[in-house]
Amino acid sequence: MKKLAVAFLIIIFSSCEEVFIDADPKNDPLVNFDFLWSEVDQKYSFFDFKKVDWDSVYNVYRPQVNSSTTREELFNVMANMLNTLRDGHVNLRSDFNISKYENWFLDYPANFEREMILYYYLGNDYKITGPLLHKEIEGVGYVRYGSFQSIIGEDALDYVFTTYKNSKGIIIDIRGNEGGDPANGFKILERIIKDRKIIYRHAFKNGPAHNDFESFNDVYLEPDMEKIRYDKKVVVLTNRLVYSAANYFSAICRVYGIMLIGDQTGGGGGAPAGSELPNGFHVNYSSSVCLLPDGYNIEDGIPPDIKVDMTDEDKLNHIDTIIETAIDQF
């Protein structure tokens, strides 16, 4: 009997150990869902601006999770919940998938065809200087900068601005530029602008309530008079895929009166921050607000000075309507 009792206790305690292991709160779907919701609730910066009722979002998605929800099912529910924020700086990452708010731009004209530009505008005699593709078109310097993730060197800018010093002006095409390092845009602007200005006011989230922000800080930009400069007219081409750091570049152009032609930019005005969930998932979210000196919030994008869509007829005739509109400004 004593041996049977010991054996019974061993079985019982072994079973309990399995239960304790399975009940590890780090892997509990409900614990992780609540962690994510609370983390975003306290640290995301655009609830009021976007008029998102985060409590109502919780009531929609929390019932979709239970103790038996798999990791992949949990990931999908979380991703769908985060997409209600309509924010390209919000994403969820796991060891098996990455989710982010995308494809929203499919509701708008692309307003950019790379192959058309390469074949019918640049041809075989364009130059590649660092990340810049460029050529003179009808007396105007055309400069294509596809991503601010590609570092631009001072020597490259020296060469480009020297090359087009006798042109009518320069077109800077950033259509499809989804951002990267804002410093790359600043390097260009410092050679174009003529005076020091406040370019935007910036504030980080610093408390749990949706409107808890630190005091706004004024950010200035000033011309670099020690480097080769370009003092003629500059026009910038934009579309809906201009995002994040490229959106900031467009916003600064607006402050300085540099003409924007094309479509409204895609936005992205909050500095990304991130957290790790108990189960190892990672979430990124916007953690700040950026306002132009006139109070305009850049999160939803910068409207152009001249709104132009590429027409189907022009595309059939291999005409980039936006480039042609820009050339007409000189």
What's the pLDDT score for residue 101? 86
Task: Quickly state the pLDDT bin for 103 (edges 50, 70, 90).
Answer: low
Between 167 and 24, whose confidence is greater? 167
Burial class (CB in 10 A: 0-12, 13-18, 19+), 117: buried
Which one-letter DSSP state was computed for residue 187?
H
pLDDT in tens, 250-292: 999 999 999 999 999 999 999 999 999 999 999 999 999 999 9
Maximum CA pair distance of the chain?
A: 103
What's the pLDDT score for residue 20? 42
Q: Are 292 and 251 in contact (CB under 8 A)?
A: yes
Angle at 243 between CA 131 and CA 160, to 5 degrees: 25
Q: Are 99 and 72 in contact (CB under 8 A)?
A: no
pLDDT in tens, 213-229: 999 999 999 999 999 99
Q: What percent of the chain has pLDDT over 70?
A: 92
Angle at 57 between CA 53 and CA 59, to 5 degrees: 120
